[in-house]
Amino acid sequence: MGIRVAAASAAIASFIALGAAAQGLKTQGVSATEIVVGSHLDLSGPVAAGMPQLRNGMQMRFDEANDAGGINGRKFRLIVEDNAYAPATAVRAVQKLVERDQVFAVFQPFGTGTGVAGYQAAAGAKVPHLFPWAVSQPFHADKNPGSFTYVVDYVFAAEAGVGHMVDQLKSTKVGILYQADAFGEMVKAGTAKALKARNLEIAAEASYRPGDIDFSAQVQRLRQAQVDLVVLATIIRETIGAVGEIKKIGWNVPVLTHVPGRTVIVTALGKEAMEGLYGIGQWNIHYADNAPAPIQEWTAKFRAKFNTAPDENAMVAYSLTDWFLKGVSAAGRDLTADGFATAFRKVKHRDMFGNPEQSLDDGNHAKPETVFVEQVKAGRWTRVSGPLVAK
């Protein structure tokens, strides 16, 4: 999730210019026996540690479909390119997928900056663009009928999560450390909304650039402002780095990270330093030793296939792939991109991982939107709030 706000604004403006061209999708990547799907992930950049889980989650569900004979006689081939968490690289990756590989759809690309940049290439080619791991709002600016999103509105998520924390902790001085891009600005906007509703405002703020690893100056700025709650608009490595710096200087302040930082990868890599961290969650986390039996069975299959345990991101990637397959099935044997988009909006999806049933019939975005707050206790994310639902 790494472009600056100005770049994001320019990209959104270009989406609107693409709007007319996007009406009417192009069908490619479909033969009598195969459907080709493309994705681009950060395989070599700052978030690369989390990418095998996304890739494996997608691949597992595609393999299951293929082993069962495919859908309507067609099997699936997944092509994954490296976006290196860099927008320019993402554009080249999508151009390759669309023009050379002739993919039917660009599916589950990772990153806001990379996703936004790559989306322009997909939309310009009239290729469906599905479920980016990114803030959702920019992908609907051009009303593209082939653009579908899942990740919760980050402004709403921050407003709900921060509001809950302020009410519970009676916070009066809230500070924020945010990534200097569209992702960070949306979290900051949601934080400001939550505080305004409580007659407060952001007491101190500090930003960082994607790829930064030293957060000492930013943490000191927030500490000097004597804030009593720190909100993080951070991803995996940055969440670990910021919380680690806070613990290192002995600052005992509650910390709340946003959706990308609330992951088992953070607790696995950050270990004891992450104890007590709060996080805003969108989807359930299951641990193998106490998960329901069907999820334990699924986890065992995943471990046997990839020689590693799945995290919640693998489960989400698997679930979204299952949702996509339902859309392909609903579109029928005479598969076209337009037919798929129409059928996909009518599919109701409930996954095996206990997440709420959702649909895409309201603006091509998964709804209803629900988040909750969790805290790391004994190394595990533990629910500390009820569901917080968008109005």
**CA dist 348 → 79, 359, 360, 364, 368 (Å):** 27, 5, 8, 13, 11
Task: Give the distance, in angstroms, between the CA of residue 273 and the centroid of all CA atoms in the same chain.
Answer: 24
What the chain holds in terms of domains, given with CATH numbers, is 5-151+295-360 (3.40.50.2300), 154-281+371-389 (3.40.50.2300)
pLDDT at 12: 43
Distance of alpha carbon 227 from alpha carbon 205, whole angstroms: 10
Range in 7-21, 165-179, 361-375 with the lowest mean pLDDT: 7-21
Average pLDDT over residues 148-161: 96
pLDDT at residue 18 above 60? Answer: no
Asked if 26 contacts 152 with a C-beta cutoff of 8 angstroms, the reply is no
pLDDT at residue 5 above 60? Answer: no
Average pLDDT over residues 156-179: 97
Which of 56, 29, 227 lies closest to 128, judged by CA? 29
Asked if 145 contacts 122 with a C-beta cutoff of 8 angstroms, the reply is no
pLDDT at residue 341 above 70? Answer: yes
Distance of alpha carbon 26 from alpha carbon 209, whole angstroms: 37
3-state secondary structure at position 317: helix
pLDDT at 112: 87
User: Alpha helices of 206-311 — where are they, by DSSP H?
Assistant: 216-224, 236-248, 264-270, 293-306
Average pLDDT over residues 119-143: 93
pLDDT at 7: 40
pLDDT at 2: 35
Confidence of residue 21 (pLDDT cuts 50, 70, 90): very low
Query: In this predicted model, what pLDDT tens digit does every residue of 323-339 receive, in sequence order?
Result: 999 999 999 999 999 99
The C-alpha R_g of the chain, in whole angstroms, comes to 20
Tokens of 144: 């593209």
Average pLDDT over residues 285-306: 94
pLDDT at residue 1 above 90? Answer: no
Which of 172, 168, 179 lies closest to 242, judged by CA? 179
Asked if 389 contacts 368 with a C-beta cutoff of 8 angstroms, the reply is yes
Q: How many helices (H) and strands (E) does the chain have?
A: 12, 13
pLDDT at 391: 65
**How would DSSP label each residue in 164-187?**
HHHHHHT-S-EEEEEESSHHHHHH
Which of 100, 153, 103 lies closest to 126, judged by CA? 103
Judge residue 244's burial from the number of C-beta atoms within 10 Å of its C-beta, 0-12 exposed, 13-18 middle, 19 or more buried: middle
Confidence of residue 46 (pLDDT cuts 50, 70, 90): confident
pLDDT at residue 80 above 70? Answer: yes
Average pLDDT over residues 261-269: 94
pLDDT at 73: 95
For residue 154, the surrounding DSSP H or E stretch is helix 154-169
Average pLDDT over residues 303-317: 96
Length of the chain, please? Answer: 391
Confidence of residue 166 (pLDDT cuts 50, 70, 90): very high
Q: Which residues make Cβ contacts (< 8 Å) with residue 2, sequence separation at least 6? A: 85, 86, 87, 111, 112, 113, 114, 179, 181, 183, 210, 211
Looking from the CA of 45 toward its CB, the CA atoms found within 13 Å total 23
Tokens of 86: 């860099």
pLDDT at 172: 98
Q: How many other C-beta atoms are found inside a 10 Å radius of the C-beta of residue 8?
A: 23
**Which DSSP category does 98 fall into?**
I
